[in-house]
Structure 1
Amino acid sequence: MKKLLLTIAMVALGLTANAQEASGQTSEGKWLIETNTGFGGGGGLFGHSSNTGFGLTSFDGATIWSVGGEAGYFVMDNLAVKAGLGYTDFDGDSVFTYKLGGKYYVNGNIPFQVDVTGSSVDGAAENPLWLGLQGGYAIFLGDMVSIEPGLRYNLSLNEDFTDEGIFEFNVGFALHF
């Protein structure tokens, strides 16, 4: 029992130390630049319609690739206002993506994000619009870099386009200035 309590105490101290280290990176006035890789989604062209990160997949003989990024400014400690842009190529068809939202770090290392993401799809009668909800854990690798694995759910905001949501596992990479 003593060993179990000692182990729990050491893990708690380690998480506290990581949160204290991380607090400088998420302080008011700091900048955040990030990108992510998304795994999962609905597949096909619109499984990646909220993509402001990197992706490569094959679907029914067609190749889909994506590139993008996001930037944020910490308006107060642990709260960043963010914007992102992305481009997806689906076998020659182009999709431009934009994202606006906020990201809050609980204890400086548990990020939660809420955003609205839209896309402009070549030749589409209607373009997708999503409400994104995301949570994860920030692992800080020094003063300026973090890796943030997390889960994301994209809820469709326009039923005429689709009424399906998209669930993803993301691994984010962030620079903090």
Structure 2
Amino acid sequence: MKKVLFAAIAVMAFGVSNAQDQTKQGKMLIEANTGNAMLGSTGFFYTSSDGESSYNIGFDGGYFIKDNLALKAGIGFGGDSFDDSSILSYRLGAKYYAMSKFPVTIDLTGASIKDAVENPMWLGIGAGYAWFLGQNVSIEPGFRYNHSLNEDFTDKGVFQLNVGFALHF
């Protein structure tokens, strides 16, 4: 029992020390996240129902301006088959790794929709857990809430569950 407990503590300590190395000032990250078709996204998604489909491809990048704090920007491109629209999405924000393991984000996400009278914009806040799989890779499941800043487009907030994949270098 002591050996199992010792091994578990050693694995956790390695994960924390590895995370601290990857979130230091001067490091960079590139992220790909699962997305949500309900709002402008810099993530990945594909949906299909009754012969209609929609998709998005995107990524975020960041630079650690100080230990555990990264400024981020993202871009995504998507569309759908039912009205032949195209959507260019963008995101600007910050990501803070509390205790080097719990990412907390705040950002502004918007979209430019082809031929749309109005374009959506959201203020988002999220939190999750960063599971570091070695020197340069983390998996970051989390949740976020997006508050609409454009009442004419939508006055509803949107909750999301995401899984992010990040490269740290």
Q: Normalization by structure 2: what TM-score?
A: 0.90
Q: Does 1:21 align with 2:18?
A: yes
Q: Distance in 2 between matches of 1:96 and 1:33?
A: 19
Q: Partner residue of 1:70?
A: 60
1:59, CA displacement in angstroms? 4.5
- Secondary structure, in 3 states, of the residue corresponding to 2:14? helix
Unaligned ranges ≥5, structure 1: none
- Structure 2 CA distance for partners of 1:142 and 1:71, relative to 1, 3 Å: same
Find runs of 4+ consecutive structure 1 residues off by over 4 angstroms: 9-14
Q: Distance in 1 between matches of 2:9 and 2:146?
A: 32
Aligned pairs, how many? 165
CA contact (8 A) 2:40 2:87 kept: no
Aligned CA-pair RMSD: 1.8
Q: Does 1:141 align with 2:138?
A: no
Q: Normalization by structure 1: what TM-score?
A: 0.86
Q: Identity of counterpart residues, as a percentage?
A: 50
Q: Partner residue of 2:86?
A: 94
Q: Distance in 2 between matches of 1:131 and 1:12?
A: 38
Q: Distance in 2 between matches of 1:153 and 1:165?
A: 7
Unaligned ranges ≥5, structure 2: none
User: What amino acid is the match of 2:96?
Assistant: Y
Q: Partner residue of 1:165?
A: 157
- Secondary structure, in 3 states, of the residue corresponding to 1:149? strand
Greater Cα offset, 91-100 or 49-58: 49-58
Aligned ranges 1:29-44 → 2 under 5 Å: 29-38=26-35
- Structure 2 CA distance for partners of 1:12 and 1:163, relative to 1, 3 Å: farther
CA contact (8 A) 2:78 2:88 kept: yes
Q: Partner residue of 1:156?
A: 148
